Structure 1
């Protein structure tokens, strides 16, 4: 499904995912999605590695209605680079139920950050992934965090699983909360005893560190639609059990840079195993996102 070419448009999501069986609590939040296009209004970045099909806000809103999701955090993607206009547009259309995470340059000005915060962006994200452009040194990223603190924003990071051993100790010194994407991209096939997952668990002993238990469909090398993603679910459930106040969840729609197209209804239903009690589900989908992102009430 992946391609390094910009010439081919890649479909990354199902137009008709199945309705989930699980009924989500009121104010359930999807804390990690993207929006792409339409390209007629929001140009794709010339630095992108591939060209995903348009996934505009209208399709996202319709998906959430079908899934029973009423709140959301949209994460700016490298597909649009550091021009966050596509996410800002979706936030504005979301009527207070949609907030954002921005991509910025390491030398972003205080004025630009203040503007983003005023438009509903609650964090900035930095990638430490080999396949993504725009990487920065963690020391430079940490220098930015006092400026984020002044605006009530936090830091979101996306990194290769092996980097948890070097980035993790540094991230403990952040002046703001840190949210780790997709369970630190650990390899679920290696099990919860593997050193990368154990290092992630140790990192979460620090309460200002948080983790997204998204990506159960990404962390299994043998994952496929309809499988239930049992290895990814097991790791996500362990994180929710051990760190109930530090986990949030997301679909990662429209599933860019993936090996297959997951069914969003299946991902929602996996929550019945990831957070099997009503209290766990309420914390994961409602309480923790409200505390972290501060949706208007």
Structure 2
């Protein structure tokens, strides 16, 4: 693991992506970028908005070639942590090398994909390695699939981080299948939630923000401030035309969290979860 940065933590963006259009893309993908999202651009956004640190997450369209992300970690090791995409058969030695660069988790992007069975031998060995490293598993999956996935993961002792409010449909309200169960799972102390990607909640801008504000109050009750983190989701893939860093910062303020909650959300919780 890289050394802890001496830069004071003023705020952590816990979900962003960097990439170049020149990189080789995954053969099967839902999105093809036609622009570059460089580390320099990202760090400029952080500085403009008074944020000191960030977490880079491997985008799905790059598959499991994490080279660009790892190169970014080498450039700003104290300010950045990484979440990679890898196959279950990866060796512990390779994971150890990634950990030394600042990788702290593995992302499973299961949107539009068949759900894995974590009881299979390859998954058991892989999840055992992640638990040994103290890494988390980040789940990006439909809200109604999350409770079963989390239930399978919890016996391995890994921390579980849920993307983008759990990807509920804002139009269906707080009682929709899966979301209420997530609130129950949040009380166990092993699951974290990223309150990010409000614009990905399937409704209108107003519906999405109203849902996020109401959900935030319930998440604070069940997860508690020490199990919630925020992410910009920069560069807002598939929504670049209507969403920017300013947009998500305004949405964050519109959640109307208390000063105590916001400090936990932006500083204390990410400091511990991502090991800054």
Using the size of structure 2 for normalisation, the TM-score is 0.87
Q: Which runs of 5+ in 1 are unaligned?
A: 1-24
Instruction: Report the count of equivalent residues.
Output: 265
Does 1 or 2 have the higher relative contact order (CA < 8 Å, sep 6+)? Answer: 1
Identify the residue that residue 218 of structure 2 maps to in structure 1.
Answer: 238
| Residue range with higher mean Cα deviation, 258-267 or 101-110 | 258-267
Q: How does 1:1-297 map to 2 (within 5 A)?
A: 26-37=9-20, 39=22, 42-52=23-33, 53-130=35-112, 136-140=116-120, 141=123, 143-223=125-205, 229-242=209-222, 243-258=224-239, 261-274=242-255, 276-295=257-276
Structure 2: gaps spanning 5 or more residues:
1-7
C-alpha displacement of 1:275: 5.3
Structure with more helix by fraction: 2
Could you tell me the TM-score, scaled by structure 1's length? Answer: 0.81
Q: How far did 1:63 drift?
A: 1.3
Q: CA RMSD in A?
A: 2.3
Distance 1:280 1:142 in 2: 36
CA contact (8 A) 1:129 1:135 kept: no
SS at 2:249's partner residue?
Answer: helix
Secondary structure of residue in 2 paired with 1:43: coil
When residues 37 and 237 of structure 1 are mapped into structure 2, their CA distance, relative to the original with a 3 A threshold, is farther
